[in-house]
Amino acid sequence: MSWFFEKFTVPSSLNGPICCVRFWGMWDIWAGGCPQSGFHTNPMWRQASRRIPKKGSKKNILLLGLGAGCSIPILHRKFPRAHITVVEYDPVMIELAYRITPHTRSPFVTIMEGNAYSVMSHLTQKFDIIILDIFDGKNVAQEAFQRDFFLRLKNLLAPAGFLLINAFQACDLLELARDYFSQYSRWRYRFFNHLGIFRHPGSGIVGDALPKEYIPYQQVGAFIQRVSNARKSASRVGHEGCWGLRWRCGPFWMERYTSDQEPVLQEGGPFRMMIWQRLSRTDIPQGWSPSWIPIHTKLAGFSIREPGEHYYKTWTSHAQRHRKKWRSQLTEGIWELVLEPSKEEFLAAYWKTKKDPTTKFVLADLIKEEFQVHGDRTHLVAVRRKGVEHAPLEAGFCFLDIPENGESIHITSFIHENLKKESVGVGLMDYWFETAPQRDIRFLNFGIFWAPGDPWTWKGFSTFKGQFDIHYLALPPALIRWTGSLTH
């Protein structure tokens, strides 16, 4: 074969004639009137690979569609330690790849012959990156538009994985992918080649839809009513699907809504500022404007408690190890859980932590308020040494159950400095998860997580909370508008 120039055609019953041209050492492969590898696709794959963060483990890559294998060396340059599994339905294309791409014979590459939809059903491992690039000529293979196809992709993608789709001109394929995944990035290459990168739902991308069965607690009418009943000059406003709370703040009145439904403007009433926190909507309806001061949570997260006793299997390996250690220490009688300690004992232990005084004052006051507003729906659980007379509480956790929507909210927790390297923090979370079904709780809300621009002191606790299979929700900025009468 000539390194400077060579040209030949390979017949294929599946792809038709495959035209192969090598010029100055680079192969250009065409089939069905569409480039498979070479001058057009290689720069495209290099650009696409740069959009996938290198940070984190990228050990397994699944490539659906071989395209003569020229994308394999590009992937190995970006992820040198990854094993690449390739699925290709045309045996002629596989033989061609072995002939012109030496990287395909690497021990880090496994090529499987067969239909992508069928082969995926036999794969059991999780993949950190999946690349979907299957075509019949210029058209995306029809199997890629099947609902079960995306469900199989979802099952094979690792929890922190990335799905890269080359849709060429089939933009509807990228729209279909948004029904099953969170869109991470989308772009055009040379005006006519459309590509997208997707992640599992709950990856924290602004605009992500909420799980269909999840109703945020801010949209539980009974919850808003309980809050308004406990506060002076407060009332529930809005309607089903868009409940809000109106309250007086010194000489001012405010209303706050958390919903994707636009609040209905109520004429009359006191002059007030309406705050609308959207969940996944990114448009700005007429009459609303972004706030010039930060009044919204940037990133929140919750975990979905699936049925069964193996709820912890989706936690990180670090959390699972600490859970195992915690369970062992409970059995050995080193620690004991204290269920529903008195509020006074809990707060006394809380005040002994090294949190700054302002934070302690605010959160202690919040605990008292939750008991006042929600009564026995507020729960306390703590940890102390077993077998020690008058042993003080050394760690604790306060959470609030909202039975109307099956959600429980992390209010606050503490751990004394001498226990920072112990497993009691995971133990408290384990209790929360394990007992959730007994209280008809399915959604465990961890509240706020650190995002760029937030205080750096939030990072540590956010990392801890992130171990428990979190469905992240990146919130768009809150919108405001003014309404009401000054003379009311």
**For residue 235, what are the contacts with CB-CB under 8 A and spacing of at least 6?**
228, 245, 246, 247
- The yes/no answer on whether domain 5-199 falls in CATH 3.40.50.150 is yes
User: Which residue, among 253, 247, 298, 292, has the nearest Cα to 277 in the 3D structure?
Assistant: 298
β-strands 193-199, 5-10 pairing: unpaired
* pLDDT given at position 3: 64
Flag whether pLDDT at 321 surpasses 60.
Answer: yes
β-strands 234-239, 242-249 pairing: antiparallel
Higher pLDDT, 226 or 2: 226
Max CA separation in the chain (angstroms): 89
CA-to-CA distance for 114 and 423, rounded, in angstroms?
47
* Helix or strand run (H / E) with residue 396: strand 395-402
pLDDT in tens, 358-384: 888 888 999 999 999 999 999 999 999
Q: Is 297 helix (H, G, I), strand (E, B) or coil?
A: coil
User: Which residue, among 368, 361, 366, 362, has the nearest Cα to 344 in the 3D structure?
Assistant: 368
pLDDT in tens, 255-268: 999 999 999 887 77
Q: Which of 88-102, 126-140, 410-424, 431-445 has the lowest mean pLDDT?
A: 88-102
Flag whether pLDDT at 233 surpasses 90.
Answer: no
Higher pLDDT, 431 or 136: 431
pLDDT in tens, 149-166: 998 999 899 888 999 999
Higher pLDDT, 233 or 2: 233
The residue with tokens 């939030």 is 458
The residue extents of the domains of the chain are: 5-199, 217-296+477-483, 306-441
* pLDDT given at position 412: 94
* pLDDT given at position 487: 61
* pLDDT given at position 360: 84
Flag whether pLDDT at 295 surpasses 80.
Answer: no
Question: Which DSSP state fits 142?
Answer: G
Flag whether pLDDT at 24 surpasses 80.
Answer: no
Mean pLDDT of all residues in 305-309 = 89
Token readout for 247 is: 């309250």
pLDDT in tens, 468-483: 989 999 999 999 999 8
* pLDDT given at position 11: 85
Q: Which of 1-10, 58-67, 232-241 has the lowest mean pLDDT?
A: 1-10
* pLDDT given at position 236: 95
Higher pLDDT, 203 or 369: 369
Architecture of domain 306-441: 3-Layer(aba) Sandwich (3.40)
pLDDT in tens, 278-287: 998 999 999 9
CA-to-CA distance for 186 and 193, rounded, in angstroms?
11
Token readout for 204 is: 């924290």
pLDDT in tens, 29-72: 878 777 777 677 888 888 999 999 877 667 899 999 887 778 88
Using alpha carbons only, how large is the chain's radius of gyration in Å?
A: 28
